[in-house]
Chains A and B, each alone.
Chain A
Amino acid sequence: MSDPRADRRAFLGALVGSSAALAGLTWSDVAASWQAAAPQREAAHPGFTSFTRAEAAELEAMAECILPGGERPGARQAGVIHFMDHWFAQQGKGAVADVRKGIAALGAAARRRKPGVRGFAQLAEADQVAVLEGIEKDAPAFFGGVRFATLLGMFSDPGHGGNRDKAGWTLLGFEDGYAWSAPYGAYDRG
């Protein structure tokens, strides 16, 4: 986006309402979150407004488990947590409280699996996957909501607070541009 304020103007008329439920969240929730993401463009991720640092660490670990980094960037490198911090705050009707409850349950499940750990973020990857499989089954709304937010934060325009340094686009091999010319791909000549 070359001019975030112009985007914001174009967007304001379309903020309200939608029932296209996906993973327990709605398209309009997604839309509403965009507004909140705007101030982040000025502030370089100074901290968290919806979550404590400990909660953010748990949520970030969960996002990284959903989209782990490897040869390409994952959710942590993309700064998805900063997108989610603002985004969940815009969902209304106690969305942040629901997510915080989910994070608490995630931590409890982690401690059940490995007594003595502080939380999910301290688990080894194999244990995280096992715990998350349980969460997916037992708390599908929480899991689905965080997965959806992870994908939005990973792949939407960096202007919304996630996809830092276009990390999500690097994973997909996507480039945003306003003009392209040949060669386009490996098959241009058949």
Chain B
Amino acid sequence: MPAYRDDDAVDFVVVGVGAAGGIVVKQLAEAGYRVVGLEGGPWRKTEEFRHDELSVQFGDALTINATRSPGRFRQRETEPGRPQPVAKYVEGPGGGSIHYAANLWRFREVDFEERSRKGAIAGSTIADWPIRYADLEPYYTQAEYELGVSGAPGPQDAFRSRPFPVPPLEPMSIGALMERATTKLGWTSQAAPMGVLSQQYDGRAGCLRCGWCWGFGCEVGAKASTAVTTIPKALATGRCEIRTECRAQRIAHDARGRATGVLYRDKDGTERFQRAKAVVLCANGAETPRLLLLSASGRFPDGLANSSGLVGRNVMFNGGPWSFAHMPEDVNAFKGPVATRITLHPYELDGEGLQGGGGFDFRMNFPPTLSVLGFAPPGRGWGRDFARSLVDHQRRLVIAAGHTTQLPQASNRYDLDPEIRDPWGLPALRLTFQEHPEDVKMYRWMQARGKQLLEAAGAARIWGDPPSESDEPFLPALHLLGTCRMGVDPATSVVDASHRAHDVPNLFMVDGSSFVTSGRGQPTLTIMALAFRAGAEMVRLARAGALG
């Protein structure tokens, strides 16, 4: 790995080397550019990942904790809110792709053009993307091949130019139940597209079906994190340096309003400045807008690249209406990947008088303490009946996990907290978020259908409360989307179709923040495809001399 000097103006400095940044650095370095990746967390070795929920899930061994990332949450701007971490992500090369479930669904055509198809929706800033499915399709394919996605096409999938690179995972009991349930309801189902290798691929081991996927790192590298796929390839070029345990503090610019580099704190807390010809933010849908807001200056008083006032706004997390059941016999879905079979039958619910839609998987990929604390059957949470309800809970629990759209609203936003500061003295994230009534209607429909699916699967006991308008989002939030939305018009978007900031010609934002609408609840493959495409766009612009 090269060691560039801080005052050596490299071609690109990339902030955040996760699901998006881990791809961008490879694209740039392979094209011959000199790249520095600044990453907040440490390197982690594949073989050091462990099955231990107390340290990993409860103790934030992988994820950022409340000390490093304090925050505040409120539902409305008129409320003072309460201290509460509001964004959860893995710090370290690989980022969220280290601990994700790896449900790698493609979008469909409709996901890019919902505004034109639906028309306006009161209270929502719903808009079309400046790109279409066809623009992204080659990069979906590239992502599937570089990451290694197991799957098989479904009956209503959008066009794909190449087959899946890896055969689907076997359905196991959990997927067979999904097939049984959907057949009974007259719905379609299909193999789940998973970033989990059903067999060896590209020098990586196949999945051992250990079951410790969601929230954990994969100890054999069978799960498709960028740390085991694209990042090693970036490093192999000899042109990419990844500097870990470095927290970006602000983006600097010159008198012409062009980015000059990134001010950051290294692992010793020393303030340093990496010069670069262009800056790429891949810090996720919460930290990317925060970094722009922290970079306000005389020339950019409302934050860098924020002439639209939309930096941090329109945040979406996707909806997750879940229902729960115990089956009469053992399912044992604590073994194997998070999902093996899904239904996308309710992808578009406009015919039901609803906005948006989504899909379901059946799952139970949660370790024991979490499955009891989070998903025990209803009733008093102690005593003989409680203990009895937990007998074989881990073997028989099935969750009908709905994954849905969530409408963008300008009032839903991340901004800087006026009081709370992080350990580096910078204003913390503040989240203001209230569900849109149309979304809640749709979640309720989906949750009721989830129960029907469980019934059709033959469940012995079914439970779960319907979603309500007063529900808070799952916090700290995952799936951080929409906060630097992509668009053609600088008045109504933050980046253009090449992910370039409208206001700063050598500044790019590439991660969930680029989303215009939310998709159906599984955003990561789209984040990855956007990253491959954005990398190609940066190379094109750099070669044309458009970044100087």
Contacts and interface: CB of A to CB of B under 8 A. Distances in A.
| Chain B binds chain A | yes
Interface of A: 1, 6-7, 9-11, 13-20, 22, 27-28, 30-31, 34, 65-72, 74, 129, 132, 136, 147-148, 151-152, 155-157, 159-160, 168-169, 171-174, 176-182, 184-190
B60 A27 contact: yes
Given A172-B392, A173-B393, A185 B55 contact: no
Interface in B30-68: 42, 44, 48-55, 58-63, 65-68
B387 A70 contact: yes
A160 B54 CA distance: 8
B369 A11 contact: no
Which of B50, B51, B330, B336 lies at the interface centre, i.e. has the most chain A CB atoms within 10 A of its CB?
B50
B383 A173 contact: no
B67 A186 contact: no
Interface of B: 42, 44, 48-55, 58-63, 65-68, 70, 83-85, 170-174, 176-177, 179-180, 208-211, 219, 327, 329-336, 368-369, 371-373, 381-384, 386-388, 390-396, 476
Interface of chain A, main secondary structure: loop
A189 B170 CA distance: 11
**9 tightest A-B CB contacts, nearest first:** A17-B67, A31-B59, A185-B173, A186-B329, A187-B173, A174-B394, A173-B395, A172-B394, A179-B208
Given A10-B61, A65-B382, A178-B210, A72 B50 contact: no
B122 to A, nearest CB: 35
B368 A168 contact: yes
A178 B212 CA distance: 9
B330 to A, nearest CB: 5
Contact of A180 (B44, B54, B208): B208
7 contacts: A27-B58, A31-B54, A156-B368, A157-B52, A182-B172, A184-B172, A184-B333
Contacts of A172: 368, 371-372, 390-395
A132 B483 CA distance: 48
A173 B392 contact: yes
B372 A187 contact: no
Contacts of A14: 55, 59-63, 65
Nearest to B373: A151
Given A172-B393, A180-B211, A185-B331, A19 B85 contact: yes
Contacts of B171: 188
A175 B366 CA distance: 12
A18 B391 contact: no
B481 to A, nearest CB: 22
Contact of B369 (A13, A70, A156, A177): A156
B84 A19 contact: yes
B523 to A, nearest CB: 23
Contacts of A68: 383-384, 387
A155 B243 CA distance: 38
Interface centre among B171, B211, B219 (most CB of A within 10 A): B211
A181 to B, nearest CB: 7
Contacts of B208: 178-180
Contacts of A15: 59
Given A1-B50, A160-B54, A20 B85 contact: yes
B390 A171 contact: yes
A5 B292 CA distance: 40
B52 A159 contact: yes
A65 B380 CA distance: 13
Given A28-B59, A31-B55, A180-B208, A20 B66 contact: yes
B113 to A, nearest CB: 38
A50 B381 CA distance: 26
Given A157-B53, A172-B371, 16 more contacts: A7-B50, A10-B50, A10-B55, A14-B59, A17-B66, A18-B60, A20-B476, A28-B60, A30-B58, A66-B386, A169-B368, A172-B392, A172-B395, A173-B392, A179-B208, A190-B176
A177 B332 CA distance: 12
Contacts of A180: 208-211, 335-336
A161 to B, nearest CB: 10
A174 B394 CA distance: 6
Contacts of A10: 44, 48-50, 55, 61
Contacts of B177: 187
